[in-house]
Copies of this chain bind each other. A is one copy, B any other.
Amino acid sequence: MSYSIKEVAKMMNVAPSTLRYYDQEGLLPNIKRLNGIRVFEDADFKWLRVLNCLKNTNMPIKKIRQYVELAQEGDTTLEERYDLIKEQKQKILKQIEEFQYYLKEIEYKQWYYETAIKAGTEKVLDDLIPDIATLELDKIPKEIKERKEEKRNE
């Protein structure tokens, strides 16, 4: 089977112009053309699936291109690609952990509003909760803070 850019765009849930942009940026190598028109074939979906994964886990376009370039070079870059994948895996794990932390924060906030709504005012809570200020921010798990620092130093 072969697919038009419109069809593939729909499958990936992006605009056709986005796929053209990706192509321009080197993220869609070896796409067949008929009279200049892109034709996506079954084999292409292996890569589209990976692209979809990397893109949706926030890998920057430039880095995805790097990966593509490595893949083009063949078996000599297997280790490098392995490392890149492992790195991305770590980022995904960190993101999940961080989001799980913020989930708890937001659940606290949810409780806060449930309580305030019952009481008809926030006053009750504001009086209840002390201004432990700095300490509060320090409660953010150390591992998460450290990661952010890494991020800033990139």
Contact = CB atoms under 8 A, between A and B. Distances in A.
Interface string A123-136: 10000010111101
Q: Assign chain A's interface to a size class.
A: 35 or more
A112 to B, nearest CB: 8
Nearest to A81: B113
Interface in A60-109: 74-75, 78-79, 81-82, 85-86, 88-89, 92-93, 95-96, 98-100, 102-103, 105-107, 109
Interface stretch (A20-28, A31-39, A114-122): A114-122
Q: A44, A86, A99, A117 — which one has the most chain B CB atoms within 10 A of its CB?
A: A99
Nearest to A148: B13
A52 interface: yes
Interface string A7-33: 000011100000000000000000000
Interface of chain A, main secondary structure: helix
Interface of A: 1, 3, 11-13, 41-46, 48-50, 52-53, 56-57, 74-75, 78-79, 81-82, 85-86, 88-89, 92-93, 95-96, 98-100, 102-103, 105-107, 109-110, 113-114, 116-117, 120-123, 129, 131-134, 136-138, 140, 145, 148-149, 152
